[in-house]
Structure 1
Amino acid sequence: MSLQEASEARKARLLALRKRKMGQSVEGAEGTPEPLVGGRNYDPISKTLKKRTPGEEIEDTVEKNVKGLAQMIIAEDEEKRQQELDIFNIAPKRPNWDLKRDMDKKLAKLERRTQEAVHTLIRQRLAAQKGQSDDLVGAMKAQEQQNAADSDEEED
């Protein structure tokens, strides 16, 4: 068989396959169209229809596969309900872990401001103890001087 003949035979098979997929009838060897037979009553090995008697049972059905499945699921569900519910397995060990996670970002900003306020109060008390001023006005002036010194340091 030459390459040309093999190519023509392959094209014919592909065309027949394409027609079969599209649902068209395919011509046989004699030139007469072969009937398209399919479905669950068709036996592809013998290419004939399967004969069934009305009283005959089908071996493999969905109903037979799931028979008893509903009762088994209900029985398992009842067993689970009978077991005592353990609340410790449901609740998280730390109930506020998600709140702490969300608040960490906000608390970081506040921590810095808190430290600055604590340093300011300490400076005011030290200034008052050194005798610069016994009253609140003197402490405020010391704070202003400290703020000015801090701003000078930041500019450098």
Structure 2
Amino acid sequence: MSLEEQSAARKARLLALRNKGKTSEQTSQTSQHTTETATQAQDPVIKSRNYDPETRTTVKGFSRPPTTLDENSETVEAVSQAIQDEVLSKFRDMANVGDVKAVFKQKKITWDLERDISDDLKLLDERTDDVIHEVVRHRIQTLRQEKQE
């Protein structure tokens, strides 16, 4: 016998004991009432937000974590992980510099003076190049004239 059959037999025996002294009319009404309640007990209607009617079980907590409810949204953990990866990659790139002495090389004593007069030096370098070109042209012309004579 299954558990359902055993429980139905037990209910019938209890009902028979209750109705032992009653009339048959009352017994038939009571038996109809118990069959109605038995069918209702088999298909209970539970209205609760903690009940899942498909599986007929109670819901305990979330079926999925709330962070995975929307596939397109970024979570705080994902954003912080991306920032952390970016910062770590920058530090790795800085650490992979070939010559460590070049990174920590001490500046010259006159570095600030060189910085301040660098624009003036560029102008002077251009003028010097122009003068050198003129001197070279002049020498070439004099050599050509000597060859022609």
Give the TM-score normalised by the residue count of structure 2: 0.26
Bigger relative contact order, structure 1 or 2, given CA contacts below 8 A and separation 6+? 1
Larger relative helix fraction = 2
Larger Rg: 2
